Amino acid sequence: MLTAILAITIMALIFGLLLGYASIRFKVEGDPIADQIDKLLPQTQCGQCSFPGCRPYAEAMAAGEADINRCPPGGETTIQALADLLEVEAKPLDDECGVEKPKTLAVIVEDRCIGCTLCIQACPVDAILGAAKQMHTVISDECTGCELCVPPCPVDCIDMVETKLNPNTWRWPDPSHVDLTLEDQS
Amino acid sequence: MTTPLGSFPGGLVLDGQKKRSTYDAIRKTPLSKKLILPLQQHIGAASDPIVQVGDKVLKGQKIARADGHVSVYLHAPSSGTITAIDEQPIPHPSGLSALCITIETDGEERWIDLEETPDFTTLSEHEIRHRIREAGIVGLGGAGFPSFIKLNPGVHHTVETLIINGVECEPYITCDDMIMRERAEGILDGIEIMRYALRVNKCVIAIEDNKPEAISAMELALARRNDLHNTSVVVIPTRYPTGSEKQLIQVVTGKQVPSNGLPIDIGIVCHNVGTSYAIGRAISHGEPLISRIVTVTGTDVKHAGNFETLFGTPMHELLSFCDTHREANEPFILGGPMMGYNLSGDHLPITKTANCILVGVDNAARQADPLPCIRCGECATVCPVSLLPQQLYWYSRSKDLEKTREYNLFDCIECGCCSYVCPSKIPLVHYFRFAKTETMNHELETQKSDNARLRHENRLERHEAEKKEKEARQRQRKLALAATKAAKEKEQAEKAKTAESQSDNQEK
């Protein structure tokens, strides 16, 4: 009886030490799942998901505290990608968060800008350039179209403009719809 | 011809259909009242306008400058007034508009002063490349890559062979054939300059054997020049797509350009005959690139032929000049039947890359009524780059972009051989173009979102640092305040003490 208890206690100690060592030796930096989720998110940092940015939302999803359908800028494609990654059922976008819209860019109407810097403080990616009492302007290449700069503007001089397709960003249309109609017929 | 020719896998022997457009000599298209010049007629960054609406320009005057490294200048093809700099429809498969400069011509055709250089050896290689760039010369074979870049081997490469591409393998197109027949001397001038700029000894002029007139014209011109050593005309068998740069290199030298590589990596530079002629004109005569030869042919064209056309000339003027019977809204092809694309409007301008217009010819990449793939493997047999088009088709269709990459989608030259032989009439090349643009777009978006993430993280870090700094400052101020307060109290206490002791003394 005593030997049995002793043996099991010693074994428990050894395994405990082993596990403790392994957890230090093979420690994974950061949360890999949260990283993977973060990669799939569009990084607009708009906060429509009710989290303050894409990273917090990704962490919440990784912890199972948030649903996968709370990202309007990513839309259906992002939901599908998240569903594939987390091996859950894809579901339609949560209306609470907003609706999927075409991509937009913020444009400051420069005649009306009074140089209050409120939009600069609101921009999550530092895409607005300007100084106090100087005209501000949006660096269009860096703008994610999050719309966070629109509400703080006291003179309402920021317009969200739909990004225009040009011959360089144009994509060949998907030809498969032709086949699909054929398959429907047969 | 001493070395035996190599070859590439697959390919097709197609009916040339070149006779119709080679009966007549090259003619000049009449001057149009309005010339529309897209700012991007080449691969790379669009040119940047240097004129304003209302400016008077002369023929050959620069109207837009190169913006960035991969870019060239743009010139006024005729004298006149700039009437607009705005978005106009351009010849592109998307049918979209882009920024264009519109010139209303005055009919006087007044040239700027041209800087002639009869002896190009007085210029350095660098100066030659600079002039070619300033002359707005791009590859006239159809791709439109800025030529000056291809004439710069850089310090890490030595060029062994310069190949002059006079193959013109696509059916119907004859603009290269005609320029070789009529302007062989000018092409040789260009070759001489390119050889000098590249410091290359050997030059091969490759021509397909279905152009006997061009071959004899080039050979005759070459025989007359005794200063061009180590230059030879190589006659190669007619097979599509030999005119494609990488395939031509394989045929002429037997060497293969590596995947994701450039011809320069194996010591070869390839230029089109039309480009060579333009380079000769630009250096010797100082003439910028303001026109090109365009083949107009097809069953609906009465006077088919080749036309020297100023850039910006609306297509409908060129078509009516050669008596074309085209129904309104009837699509026509820009380029050849294999690689060209359909256009629906004919008010589009002729650009630097417009080598051929076909009216009344069916596009080889048929798009009507595709049937399911039967996995016959014909497409893989004809593929000149040994890809597996049927696999690529499945993956492109299911939008499995990663798999298409694995199967080397980006090595596809979009020659159209697979679509041409497909018994199910599947528009394979269309699928590949779709998958290519999807992949490129996806990459661009990932890059953008990575960038946004980084900027956001940097911002958060900065805010954190600012907050800490503020706290530290506050703490310091508090400490300083406390210190001064303590010092004051101490002083007061001492004062009180001394006062006390003084009063004590007085009392005593």
- pLDDT number for residue B329: 80
- Alpha-carbon distance A27 to nearest alpha carbon in chain B (angstroms): 24
The CATH T-level fold of domain A102-166 is Alpha-Beta Plaits (3.30.70)
Does the structure show a pLDDT above 50 at B44?
yes
Q: Which residue has the higher pLDDT, B38 or B369?
A: B38
Contacting residues of B for A178, CB less than 8 Å apart: 367, 370, 427
Is the domain of B266 the same as that of B178?
Answer: yes
Q: What is the 3-state secondary structure (H, E, C) of B214-248?
A: HHHHHHHHHHHCCCCCCEEEEEECCCECCCCHHHH
Q: Is B433 on the interface with A (CB under 8 A)?
A: yes
What is the predicted ipTM?
A: 0.80
Domain CATH code at residue B184: 3.40.50.11540
Is the domain of B147 the same as that of B268?
Answer: yes
**How would residue B507 be classed by pLDDT, with cut points 50, 70 and 90?**
low
Interacting residues of A56 by C-beta distance below 8 A, sequence separation 6+: none
Q: Tell me which of B256, B286, B316 is where a domain ends.
A: B286
Is the domain of B133 the same as that of B225?
Answer: yes
Q: What is the 3-state secondary structure (H, E, C) of B413-435?
A: CCCCHHHHHCCCCCCHHHHHHHH
Is residue B126 within 8 A of residue B64, CB to CB? The reply is no
- Alpha-carbon distance A77 to nearest alpha carbon in chain B (angstroms): 12
Q: Is A174 on the interface with B (CB under 8 A)?
A: yes
What would the two tokens of residue A161 be?
Answer: 């403009």
- pLDDT number for residue A180: 42
Per residue in B304-339, pLDDT (tens digit) is: 999 999 999 999 999 999 888 888 788 889 999 999
Is residue B70 within 8 A of residue B148, CB to CB? The reply is no
Q: Which residue has the higher pLDDT, B482 or B361?
A: B482
SS3 A93: coil
Query: What are the boundaries of each domain within chain A?
Result: 32-86, 102-166
- pLDDT number for residue B392: 95
**What does the pLDDT average to over B377-385?**
94
Q: Is A3 on the interface with B (CB under 8 A)?
A: no
**What does the pLDDT average to over B8-27?**
91
Q: How far apart are CA A80 and CA A86, in angstroms?
A: 10
**What does the pLDDT average to over B239-261?**
92
CB-nearest to B452 from A144, A166, A183 is A144
**How would residue B3 be classed by pLDDT, with cut points 50, 70 and 90?**
low
Q: Given its phi and psi angles, is residue B60 left (phi above 0), alpha (psi -120 to 50 degrees) or beta?
A: left
**What does the pLDDT average to over B37-43?**
93
Whether the domain at A32-86 and the domain at A102-166 fall into the same CATH topology: no
Q: Is A89 on the interface with B (CB under 8 A)?
A: no
Q: What percent of chain B has pLDDT over 90?
A: 75
From B446, B443, B430, select the one nearest B392 (Cα to Cα). Answer: B430
**What does the pLDDT average to over B338-345?**
87
For chains A and B, CB pairs below 8 A equal 80
- Alpha-carbon distance A41 to nearest alpha carbon in chain B (angstroms): 8
Number of domains in chain B: 2
Is the domain of B396 the same as that of B488?
Answer: yes
Which regions in chain A score pLDDT beneath 50? 179-186
**How would residue B361 be classed by pLDDT, with cut points 50, 70 and 90?**
confident
Is residue B309 within 8 A of residue B191, CB to CB? The reply is no
B264 within domain boundaries:
yes
Q: If you classify domain A32-86 with CATH, what class do you get?
A: mainly alpha
B158 within domain boundaries:
yes
For residue B396, the surrounding DSSP H or E stretch is helix B389-397
Say yes or no for a CB contact (<8 Å) between A127 and B90. Answer: no
Q: How far apart are CA B201 and CA B135, in angstroms?
A: 25
The position carrying tokens 């990596």 is: B265
B454 within domain boundaries:
yes
Q: Is B92 on the interface with A (CB under 8 A)?
A: yes
Q: How far apart are CA A177 and CA B48, in angstroms?
A: 39
Is the domain of B282 the same as that of B133?
Answer: yes
The mean predicted confidence, pLDDT, of chain A is 87
Interface test with A, best of B348, B434, B437, B453 (most A CBs within 10 A): B453
Does the structure show a pLDDT above 70 at B193?
yes
- pLDDT number for residue A27: 82
Per residue in B222-243, pLDDT (tens digit) is: 999 887 888 999 999 999 999 9
Is residue B255 within 8 A of residue B266, CB to CB? The reply is yes
Q: Is B449 on the interface with A (CB under 8 A)?
A: yes
B342 within domain boundaries:
no
Q: Which domain holds residue B425?
A: 365-508
- Alpha-carbon distance B446 to nearest alpha carbon in chain A (angstroms): 8
The mean predicted confidence, pLDDT, of chain B is 91
From B245, B308, B276, select the one nearest B28 (Cα to Cα). Answer: B308
